[in-house]
Each structure stands twice: as C-alpha cells, then as structure tokens.
Amino acid sequence: MGLRIHFVVDPHGWCCMGLIVFVWLYNIILIPKIVLFPHYEEGHIPGILIIIFYGIAIFCLIALVRASITDPGRLPENPKIPHGERELWELCSKCNLMRPKRSHHCSRCGHCVRRMDHHCPWINNCVGEDNHWLFLQLCFYTELLTCYALMFSFCHYYYFLPLKKHNLDLFVFRHELAIMRLAAFMGITMLVGITGLFYTQLIGIITDTTSIEKMSNCCEEISRPRKPWQQTFSEVFGTRWKILWFIPFRQRQPLRVPYHFANHV
C-alpha cells in the first residue's frame, strides 16, 4: 500500500505543530551541548547514551512528520462498497456520502475518516485508521525523549561530577541555569500532558473504542472489550509482529478482520 500524502490547511494546526518542533529542537540542540557532550568528554557517561538519545529523537521526529502528512483514512467521494458488507455502511448526514460504520465526519477537515479517533491540532491532522499507529508511536517516543532529557538534566546538577572545563564565552554556558530551567519546565509540562494522552489512547485500543465513541457513547457495549488486546493492537499497527509496532519508517498493511468480532471463551 503506497503512502498517501495528506496536508491540512489550518493556521491553528501549523502553530501547534510549530510549537512541538520548537520544543524538539530546543532539547535536541541544547541538552547535548550543555549536558551530554561535556560529560562524555570528561568520561562521566559512555557514548552509547548519546547515541540512544539521538536515536529516540530521530524516531520521535519521523513519527511526528509521518503522523502529520499521512492520510488518516479519508473516504473517497464514490466508495466501492463490497456486496457482502453493505449492512456495515451508513449515510453521513453532513456530506451525504456512504461510509463504513465507526467512521466520523471531521468538521475541521471537511470529510469523513475511517475509524476516526479525534482531530489533533498538535499534528495538524485527524487521527484515523491509517495513521493511528503513527500517533501512538509519537506519544511513546515523545514521552521517552522527555524522560530521557529530564533524567540527564537532573543528573547534571545532582549526580554527575562537576565539569572541570567551562567555556564561558559561549552563550549557552553563560545562561546555562536559565536554559536548563526552561527545558525542565517544558519537559515536565510535556510529560504530564503526553502521559495522560498516551494513557487514554492505550485504554481506547484495549477496549476497542475511539475517543469520539467514548464522548458520544454510541459504541455498543462500550465498557467491555470485544476483542483480545493483542488483536486490537495488531489491527491498529497493521501487523502481529510486536517488534514492528515500534518502527515508524515502515509501511502499514491493514489486517482484514471482520467488523463484528466475538471473543469466544
């Protein structure tokens, strides 16, 4: 399945996404310059920790970009309905087009999205069937990168040995305390917000319920999981290989699973 580019023209979304990119650049540039590289040069930390930091940062950026530009599952104007699945489709009251059940019409984007979870301004895109897995990866790697940066910021002042060499001519070292305080504030704010969001996303997948269905209370048996958690996660990520759930630079292949699934015990 080829990659379908989806670009939403929304200044509000551009500002939100720009803020996320700013926080990412702030941490990816200043944390290594103030903490990682100086302590590595003086032998306080191994080089593998720097490689892990940049690896997490790259995975986080890839997930952000791909979640933002990947088509979330926009329905075509004249969808082809399989003959045996006509009872699983319904008419959208806003765009007057047929759509699969559990689809939703996004008022901001102006079209229906398959299994839409919500519209996220932070990626300037809807979170739907085809990019939900990338959004989950973005939450995971953002939380991991934030914890990593906060941990090194704490160790810089309270655990590592004091640095012997300081180049006070550099702006970042002359204003180190202010820079690190701002980084800590942004990191804690980001950690609290992304933890709550990631938790609700995981619960939604485990219970096979989207955020819109929770708010509208329209999903049948909303409080009881209808599928095993392995099945719901495999459907979202498009593969049963769990190691691939963490890889953001692959192509997702949807699993063909019947809409109505009964978990027989």
- Start-end of H helices in the chain: 11-31, 37-41, 47-69, 132-158, 171-174, 176-206, 211-216, 229-237
pLDDT digit string (tens) for 244-264?
999 999 988 877 654 444 333
Please state the pTM of the whole predicted model. 0.87
Question: Which of 229, 181, 179 shows the shortest CA–CA distance to 202?
Answer: 229
Per-residue pLDDT tens digits for 204-223? 999 889 998 888 775 554 44
By annotation, the residues acting in catalysis are 120
pLDDT in tens, 91-113: 888 888 888 888 999 888 888 99
**What is the residue-averaged pLDDT of the chain?**
85
Check residue 258 and give its pLDDT.
47
pLDDT of residue 1: 45
Q: What is the per-residue pLDDT for 168?
A: 60
Span of 34-43, 129-138, 171-180 with lowest mean pLDDT: 171-180
- The identity of residue 120, as a single letter, is C
